[in-house]
Amino acid sequence: MTELLVAEGLELAYGEIPACRGITFHVDQGEIVTLIGANGAGKSTTLRAIAGALIPRAGMIRFRGQDITRLPSYERTRLGIALVPEGRRVFPFLTARENLELGAFKYRNDKPKVSTLLDKIFAMFPRLSERSSQNAGTLSGGEQQMLALGRAMMSEPYLLCLDEPSLGLAPMVVQDIFRTIRSINAAGTTVLLVEQNARYALETASRGYVLQTGSIIASGPCAKLKDDERVREAYLGGGAKKLFVS
């Protein structure tokens, strides 16, 4: 498999407060890889470092063969990394269409390109097409998540980074979101998926890493991680059995 993203020995901190250390993982082209872990484990912090919102104190990030450790986030967008942040962060007073157009910022001087991309996204999310002229703030949680996904896809990323896409959504909607993630991946986009919802994450991804208090404590194929006692104990604690019942 061709290497797309490599993170090696990342040390991440907020000012003087350390958050993650020794973070080493990789994502190959075409994969869905998941980072799972309890609240506060360091998942968002790790994604921020990949997307360029937080520059590591130490360690290295390589994307498509290039050292991007210290590149600002807009440069990473240009290179093909897109982040759907925790909580979606759509612009509530802009329409769905305007939100999508902002995602194509790197093509801002190419109107036909943006229009083609919009058509593509509307075909993928018919619901967004129906609501294209509605303010994003009036959309349901699930629709806003779809909008955030669509906005990220407007930059035609090689790597789509998702931070807790299922957070706060009803189970039916969650299934929809994960189905969409799988189809985006099947169409050729590599996915790095951060989730607290271990069950869905491990069913959706092929490989995973388990974070606990700022370190990776386990990794491997998802089929194996599901049965890993350390994963159940460290990450899922007492609720483990419940989460895995379908």
Ligand X SMILES: Nc1ncnc2c1ncn2[C@@H]1O[C@H](COP(=O)(O)OP(=O)(O)O)[C@@H](O)[C@H]1O
Select from 33-41, 92-100, 173-181, 183-191 the region that touches ligand X (CB under 6 A). Answer: 33-41
Asked whether 60 and 70 are in contact (CB, 8 A), the reply is no
Which is closer to Mg ion, CB of 44 or CB of 197?
A: 44
Binding mask of the shown chain, residues 1 to 40, with x at each position contacting Mg ion by CB under 5 A: ----------------------------------------
Output 132 or 212, the one with its CB closest to ligand X. Answer: 212
Residue 48: partners with Cβ closer than 8 Å, 6 or more residues away: 12, 54
Name which of 17 and 172 has its Cβ closer to ligand X.
17
46 contacts Mg ion (rule: CB under 5 A): no
DSSP state letter for 196: S
By CB under 6 A, which span of 14-22, 118-126, 127-135, 137-145 interacts with ligand X? 14-22
Q: 3: which residues sit within 8 A by CB, 6+ positions away? A: 26, 28, 29, 62, 65
- Tokens at 125, concatenated: 């999310």
Residue 16 touches ligand X, criterion: CB under 6 A = no
Distance CA 158, CA 246 (A): 32
Binding positions for ligand X, rule: CB under 6 A = 14, 17, 19, 37, 39-45
